Every structure is written in structure tokens, then in C-alpha cells.
Amino acid sequence: MALTGDMGTVFLMALVGVGFTVPVMIIPILFGPRRPNPIKNAPFECGQAPQGAGKMHFMMQYYAYLLMFIVFDVLGMFLYAWAAAYKPMALGLSSDWTVTLFMGMLFVPMAFALVLAGRRELW
């Protein structure tokens, strides 16, 4: 059975994704340092050993809002694409269930971000 049309394109892109991912995971294993020592594990800043303590403290107070923005950004992008191309799926099934499942999966990190936003001791 030949893969043509939209599903063939999806499988081709999945194959390309795997083809690019596998070498990126295997090359560090093959060429990475095998015997770590303090010199190899030491941090370097522009090729020089760092001196003293770090100078900057990163504020984490907006981390939960960043998570919420990312969730809403992805949600809005896919909901717009779904609404623009809305049509029944194969066999007369409605695509409403897939979008509901997708939104449910995105509301899990959204709930996590809201929980983090309410925890003042993190900030």
C-alpha cells in the first residue's frame, strides 16, 4: 500500500524527525568525554575559569506566567488552525473530540502553572 496524500506527508515528516534526532542523541555518546575529572567538569566562561561568585540573581516570580503564556499560545495557534480547516474526519466522525482531548491535555500544564502562581514561597 503506497502512502500518498496527507498521511504520507505526515509519515515522511516523522521519518525526517527521527532521522535528525537519532544522530544528535548518538554522537555525544560516541564522542563525549568518557573519564570525567575536575578539569573537564570545571565551568568555563569564554575560555577562562570563572572567578568569584555569580553576579546575577534570576527572578523566578514570572515563571508561572511564562508557562501560562506558552500554553495559551499553543492552544490559540492550534484552535485557529482547527477552526480554519474544520470539517468532519473520516467515517463521519466529528473532530470535536480530538480538539477536546487536545485542550484537556493543555489544561494540565495550565493548572500546574496556576498552582505555581499561588505558591509564594517559590518566589
Taking only the tens place, the pLDDT of each residue in 8-37 is 888 899 999 999 999 999 998 898 878 888
C-alpha to C-alpha distance for 103 and 83, rounded to whole angstroms? 14
pLDDT, one tens digit per residue, over 65-78 is 787 788 888 888 88
CB 122 within 8 A of CB 65: no
Helix, strand counts (H, E) of the chain: 4, 0
pLDDT, one tens digit per residue, over 33-50 is 788 888 777 777 777 766
pLDDT value of position 65: 77
Q: In the predicted model, is pLDDT for residue 88 greater than 80?
A: no
Q: How confident is the model at residue 6 (pLDDT cuts 50, 70, 90)?
A: confident
Higher pLDDT, 94 or 79: 79
Q: In the predicted model, is pLDDT for residue 53 greater than 90?
A: no
**What are the angstrom distances between the C-alpha of 28 and each of 18, 19, 63, 75, 104?**
16, 16, 31, 34, 36
Higher pLDDT, 106 or 119: 106
What residues pair up with 48 in beta bridges, in sequence order?
Answer: 45
Domain boundary assignment for the chain: 5-122
pLDDT value of position 10: 85
| CA-CA-CA-CA dihedral for 114, 120, 121, 123, to nearest 10 | 90
Highest mean pLDDT among 8-17, 48-57, 94-103: 8-17
End-to-end CA distance of the chain: 57
C-alpha to C-alpha distance for 50 and 69, rounded to whole angstroms? 35
C-alpha to C-alpha distance for 66 and 18, rounded to whole angstroms? 29
